[in-house]
Structure 1
């Protein structure tokens, strides 16, 4: 120390200015360290409450020094109390969880994956996401005790399986939990990496933060075998009426992954705007996007498709035609009734617009659109061609269309316009098949074209899948099932999540009011709609049409209502929403924990006092 002081004196005498600067920096550093120490947040006091499992419900009890050693926190109590495993969506097959937990280190999570170098980046992304989810459990806490056993996660996957994510990808998994003297072990076995991903998602829900002991705990022993009831479990988002940033779409897909929804149906264009950037036809975006920044480029779409793949979600592109087309097409002279007024005579909402099937050059443009979409969306194994809300009045307002039809010997009656529609669909499908190089399944909305006697004349049931948007009780649904068509259910009376808000083309409420609560979504059963044809229901989608929503209100419109759909489609339980309520409240907290702005369902008091809020009917 004396030598250091002597050296400092000699240095300062030689260069006083530098010496002063160094001294000041040292003093600032010392002061900063003192401030950090003084302002360091002390470990929080333990909560005032502990929980006991009584009659299959977690009951709040006082926490004090006499019982703190054996006290159970609410998250731990909910792991084992009652007959239902606290996983959302509810698993479908074998469930065995021994009622004990083991303390694990957040820093001690290790993965052991198959040696498949070609998909190492996919495995790494899946593992990183899991690590982030565990981090989120303690992100808003202080004083975490990072002590306990290492968590070893072992994956076993059929290495000969297809690593593409497709409509019929095997999503089964088996999760086994055990422990040794110094390790907690989670083994996940699956046919595919996507089944393994689902198993990892379930594991994340069996790890909780114990706020009494300020530590992470995982179920010590147990086993879950699980697989989905329905293959097609989706959400539809319309990004034409209002624009949504790619970041908000990624957040939507993050939430979908938490509940094992596997299809993001992207209704990317409509008559309101054309945000899809096409190299072959840049004018569509130039004149159709709201601003040059509110667009989806090829790069951003490919990035989103890969982001979704990591989360077990397929992106299903839709190009809706021949109706719902307008902005962006101004320079092509290929539309009818574009922005025509009064709009209610030509379409269901402004602005109006439909493609003109009589223009020969139209099909060359459609082929270009299909080619670029097929490329952007990584050669999807299924495509949505729309077909929604075609107006014969729109086509009949075009002198060009009238002359073309009369020249072919047709009349101008409804059946003739349906034939014009069939003519369009045949030519559009031929161009899509040319692009794809194979005959993929095609989805179309219910419409006049899907009704008797037209549907089996124009739409081959071996090729076309019909997406139902009418009510579940509509007799036309049974007509389609009797004819042998496969269906995707999106009945608006239970699955249109934009319903129940104020009108925007008139006063009062919007057309499909009232608001649809999560309870109605949960109790909407595709198998009941199917009747005696359950095998023809591929699954279901909840839809969010964006007239009155944008990225700033996206989360609360979808969540947690979409989670109710997820459980209905994954396990299709025989019980009603009432049985699921306490799990739903915990699940909503999990969504928020992961950065999803899910709507609050009840006061937090109801979360902490299980089953004390719902009305108990007399005699129950």
Structure 2
């Protein structure tokens, strides 16, 4: 038809009545094509070229989006992404908002090229960070679809930061407010998103929420935003973290940055960096440069001062604090070979099972003064590099058998009136911990700093007396039913839950020593993580909500014996997002009510370059309500 029309209109000369007939036929053909195009757009929404002629649309029923065929009597068909914004809980937002939330029933076409920011001091550090978040927002919107499929035009959007907020360089502490409100509306042919928060971090969270209210409509080829939205939001728990071990296997900087990016999408706020262990020492200590020289896997597998600064700054941009851990007195080995002065004991001792929980063994010698000199330099470097509001001193899996194998240590114990009983070795451990703490405070110019320790022999009933709840926060890695939890709460310790029966994300894979599965199998599915409520754990231990102030939050841990840069994304995501909603919202509903939003959030992660594991066949996402047990 097209070729015939072109041929008719391109003839130079048409004479007589035949000319009028041919022109009439040609004109009729053009009119029919236009009408056909209008009907196509009317019923099929001008389907984009990347999804040619899709016959499907979605409608909301009983809280889920149902798939149906577009037929003639269907007006304004919805794509899946838009249906999800209006169907079910809180417009598909992850994590679920905690305060008053209201949604209109209207989507507006958004011009992604016309998104501007107002209400900030662009010359301040905070103003520049907010602008950078807006730039990220624009780029993420453009990545929702290929440029050639996005139709031009649409409303401009003004992000208006209203009210008073701290304009100084942002610092995230346990007491920092992360609450925000956002109001999206249309006025004078423009769209507005009014954002209010007392801090940069709340504003950043609001922009993240805004990004989840913007979708690509693949039926019409348009970027659209939910209009007439009001959300009040803020976290239930102030500490919402991920631990990443970069010592068993080196994790490259790009993977760490990607982890922080994914954390920001889920409003997790603490990156716990387990940066050294007995296996390697990849931290570049300026005071003791021999540490990475002897202890790194290679010169290319060292975190330089520049690397750390970039990671910390990227964390601030994304609302994530970076807390270093220097684990001691156990989990020490590689990197210490040059120190001498009997600073370590049982390093690479064999058979290793007699001295530690995994090879290579190694512990510090608490009786060596050289140890505390080295520790002061390491602490000084880390405090200068990270400027943390907490410091993690590790303190787990100390082997009494290791210390008992050293005649030098036993001679010191005799000189100090100690025998070789278990009680005496715990007193030795307390000697080390007390002196290491004093060394940390000295390195911090005499300023006190909250310290985190793992549950260990020091948190047993007979030894808890050695720890001061005003100095120490305890990170619980044992099971949720361990009576250590009750003992800590009764003694007014603040706690962070990382109970391995739900929050160890390296579990459920093949053993790396011997055969079978690794020690903490089975695999921790996102459903188990979602149901791992800190408050329910407290209640099951006999405590009430009045003890909530002692629970700072939780942290998922990824130990890297069987993980490196190639697999971090899939081990962490999207399972860590389940933890994020539990800690942000602490919902009373179960994972079943969050399933469709979780599937949607996993798609967001992948869209932004996070290699998150697939949870279900995509068919389940497109046919909601059919994948059930």
For the criterion TM > 0.5, the same-fold answer is: yes
Alpha-carbon separation, structure 1, partners of 2:53 and 2:370: 72
Picking from 410, 417, 429, the partner of 1:421 is: 429
Tell me the residue number matched to 1:579: 593
CA deviation after TM superposition for structure 1 residue 276, in Å: 0.3
3-state SS of 2:369 partner: coil
Equivalent residue for 1:281? 288
1:445-464 to structure 2, matched below 5 A, reads 445-456=454-465, 458-464=466-472
The answer to whether 1:108 aligns with 2:109 is no
Structure 1 range deviating more: 231-240 or 126-135: 126-135
CA shift at 1:61, angstroms?
Answer: 0.8
Asked if 1:598 corresponds to 2:612, the answer is yes
For the residues of structure 2 that align with 1:594 and 1:64, how far apart are their CA atoms? Answer: 34
Aligned-residue offset at 1:161: 5.9
- The whole-number CA distance in structure 1 between the counterparts of 2:255 and 2:585 is 28
**Alpha-carbon shift at residue 115 of structure 1 (Å):** 1.6
Task: Compute the displacement of 1:591 (Å).
Answer: 0.6
Q: Find the counterpart in structure 2 of residue 129 from structure 1.
A: 136
- Supply the distance in 1 between the matched residues of 2:561 and 2:615 (Cα, whole angstroms): 24
Q: Deviations over 1:498-552 (max 9, x none)?
A: 0000001110000000011000000001001122232211000000000001010
- What do residues 256-295 of structure 1 show as CA deviations (whole Å, max 9, x unaligned)? 0000000000000000000001121111111100000000
1:83–1:315: structure 2 CA closer, same or farther, 3 Å change rule? closer
Give the match for residue 11 of structure 1: none
Contact 2:90 2:101 in 1 (8 A): no
Distance (whole Å) between structure 2 residues aligned to residue 261 and residue 386 of structure 1? 22
User: Which of 483, 490, 495 is equivalent to 2:498?
Assistant: 490
Q: Within 5 A, what are the aligned runs for 1:334-373?
A: 334-373=343-382
Counterparts of 1:494 and 1:100, CA distance in 2: 40
Q: Could you tell me whether the CA contact under 8 Å between 1:255 and 1:596 is conserved in 2?
A: yes
Structure 2 counterpart of 1:6: none
Alignment of 1:499-514 (within 5 A): 499-514=507-522
TM-score by length of 2: 0.89
Local SS of the residue matching 1:117: coil
How big is the shift at 1:400?
0.9
Return 111-120 or 477-486, whichever deviates more.
111-120
Q: Match of 1:78, SS?
A: helix
C-alpha distance after superposition, 1:8-47 (max 9, x if no partner): xxxxxxxxxxxxxxxxxxxxxxxxxxxxxxxxx9665242
Q: Is the 8 A contact 2:237 2:553 kept in 1?
A: yes
Q: Partner of 2:240: helix, strand, or coil?
A: strand
Most deviating of 47-56 and 200-209:
47-56
For residue 536 of structure 1, the aligned residue among 541, 550, 570 is 550
**Post-superposition offset of 1:146:** 2.3
Alpha-carbon separation, structure 2, partners of 1:116 and 1:181: 25
Distance 1:130 1:236, change over 3 A: same
- 2:243 paired with 1:236: yes
Counterpart for residue 201 of structure 1: 208
SS at match of 1:244: coil
Task: For 1:421 and 1:566, locate their aligned partners in 2 and report how far apart those are by CA, in whole Å.
Answer: 35
Q: Which residue of 2 aligns with 1:527?
A: 535
Offset, 1:157 = 5.2
Question: What displacement does 1:113 show?
Answer: 3.6
TM-score, structure 1 normalization: 0.90
1:552 aligns with 2:552: no
Task: Spell out, residue by residue over 1:166-201, the C-alpha distance to the aligned partner (whole angstroms, 9 max, x if none).
Answer: 222110000001002421111110000110000000
Q: Does 1:185 align with 2:192?
A: yes
Describe the superposition over 1:474-508 as per-residue Cα deviations: whole angstroms up to 9, x where unpaired.
Answer: 01111111111110000000000000000011100
Q: Residues 82 and 159 of structure 1: is their aligned pair in 2 closer, same or farther, counting only changes over 3 Å?
A: closer
**Rounded Cα–Cα distance in structure 1 between residues aligned with 2:299 and 2:358:** 25
Instruction: Tell me the equivalent position of 1:175.
Output: 182
Tell me the alpha carbon deviations over residues 59-115 of structure 1, each in whole angstroms, 9 at most, x when there is no partner: 101125653x51111111111112443100000011000111111111111111412
- On the 8 A contact 2:156/2:190 being kept in 1, the answer is yes
Report the counterpart of residue 258 of structure 1 in structure 2. 265
Q: CA deviation at 1:331?
A: 1.5
1:363-407, Cα deviation, whole Å (9 max, x unpaired)? 111000000001111x21111000010000000011111111111
Native 8 Å contact 2:91 2:213 kept in 1: no
**In 2, distance between residues paired with 1:439 and 1:581?**
44
Q: What displacement does 1:159 show?
A: 3.8
CA 1:498 to 1:59, structure 2 compared with 1: closer, same or farther past 3 Å?
same
Distance 1:55 1:424 in 2: 60
Equivalent residues in 2 for 1:12-411, closer than 5 Å: 44-64=51-71, 67=74, 70-115=76-121, 117-119=123-125, 120-139=127-146, 142-156=148-162, 158-160=164-166, 163-333=170-340, 334-377=343-386, 379-411=387-419
- The offset of 1:165, in angstroms, is 2.0
* Aligned-partner SS, 1:547: coil
Residues 214-271 of structure 1: per-residue CA shift (max 9 Å, x gap): 1011111010000000000000000000001111100000000000000000000000
- Secondary structure of the structure 1 residue equivalent to 2:258: helix
Runs of 4 or more consecutive aligned structure 1 residues displaced over 4 Å after TM superposition = 41-44
Q: Shift of the alpha carbon at 1:132?
A: 2.1
Q: How far 1:116 sits from its partner (Å)?
A: 5.5
Find the aligned partners of 1:180 and 1:524 in 2 and give their Cα distance: 44
Distance 1:325 1:56 in 2: 53
Change (3 A) 1:382 1:157: farther
Give the structure 2 partner of residue 613 of structure 1.
627
